[in-house]
Structure 1
């Protein structure tokens, strides 16, 4: 490996399995010291065991890397604060935060319980906000002390958050919120030496291998396009000092493909210079829609 993250300290949430595990291993392979966070919960967020995080730590150490496990709930203030504190107290610094933790509770909207909405939004959106909040506070203190960091945050959105996904109203809303949070964090924390970006990955994980079984299946031979390890090189680069100048962007990553996603921007417009009547507003809206680019379809639609 090139040592792209040599001497850097990275935190990865939800790193016991799937994409998080792949990111943690890839960061360690490039020289990073890694805090491996995972509650070890089931696919729906229930249960919990320390096993998955410790297994990844053991795997990193067996390959000659450095890692420690963190089993706190990062969607609580105490858990998120202790996550950042673990990195700083163990290695004296924090350079990279990869927010990845999440689970699913899929239902069509009319069948979606309030508890299932709250649980998914909590782990994905609040579970991004709180680690980012405490990491940013640490980096701000460093910058004010004259030690401006080359800090990096990689958030995890989804195609569901960018386009929508039938049966995943809670997940799609949370993942869309992560994009908004990424844009705000990039604007607010740049002055402290922090760059914040997001990825929208597609890979075979516990969350996708059943729902999209045919698409996610590993081939008998050849390139495994849906392997989570395909996404990690971009995460490593975004989490390294080499990504200087890149912030507030969203990248889609799948197989051997990387795409810069372009979000909302003004399209066709009309200005009357005064108040429209409802009929005029409707006629104008239809005319503008006819001139506009058609949106990409919702997943599952």
Structure 2
């Protein structure tokens, strides 16, 4: 179904909910979210305000107001709003993750790049960045200011001590944009190579970032996804490799064969990896059993060259 049509339907549903239950903040909040998704942040803000009139401590509406400020590029106001409501926002991990995801999502937008470039004067530029730096420095924890500054420093290619300190703070935050996390890792690894081998950080990715393909890190990420036993992540990562006519390392192929056997997965990707490894001279019982199983399921033709190779090693 068309995305705009879906939004229109949801807007009508929440408007109906408000008519039926006007005293509940949820309806106003839900309608505000739909307005925000439809690109009308001012209408969204009005709905979030209505929700807060019904319940001044309604956390979802406060999150919505923060997201409106970010959508309108009012970054300093957003950092200040987080400061004002930090106790509420830090109450649940899901709130923190949502905020960090929303702020970091700006990184890939052209509007943020334009924000970094287009200031009326150097004075205004310094004033805005300086305000964020003051908030970041004064607050024990303000992910809005920290992430915004990190994104700005990355765009400007800064790698001084202040920038690296912020990069270290942000790189391990839950929910941040995969591309941002990868760029932070690249920046940090220039002085701390071990960062690019940190399994904990790799495990935070939801997918392989576009600009990580062709690097060893892409292989590390697939290994992490398999260690997490996340079949969807693994399948998506391998399909992205295939789209680019690329293959993971032999080590990852071998791990994938173990992964598929452990999870009873049988597919053409597994078949191609088996074929590649066997024809490369990687021969053992697991590979042979996997190939035979794939043949029995009709995924590999029994006349495939790999079976001639296996027969030379006594596997039939």
Question: Do these two structures clear the TM 0.5 threshold for a shared fold by scoring above it?
Answer: no
Whichever of the two has the greater Rg, that structure is 2
TM-score range with shorter-chain normalisation?
Answer: under 0.3
Q: TM-score, normalised by structure 2?
A: 0.27
Query: Which TM-score applies when normalising by structure 1?
Result: 0.27
> Which fold has the larger relative contact order, with Cα–Cα distance below 8 Å and residues 6 or more apart in sequence?
1
Looking at secondary structure, tell me which structure has more helix per residue: 2
**Structure holding more strand per residue:** 1
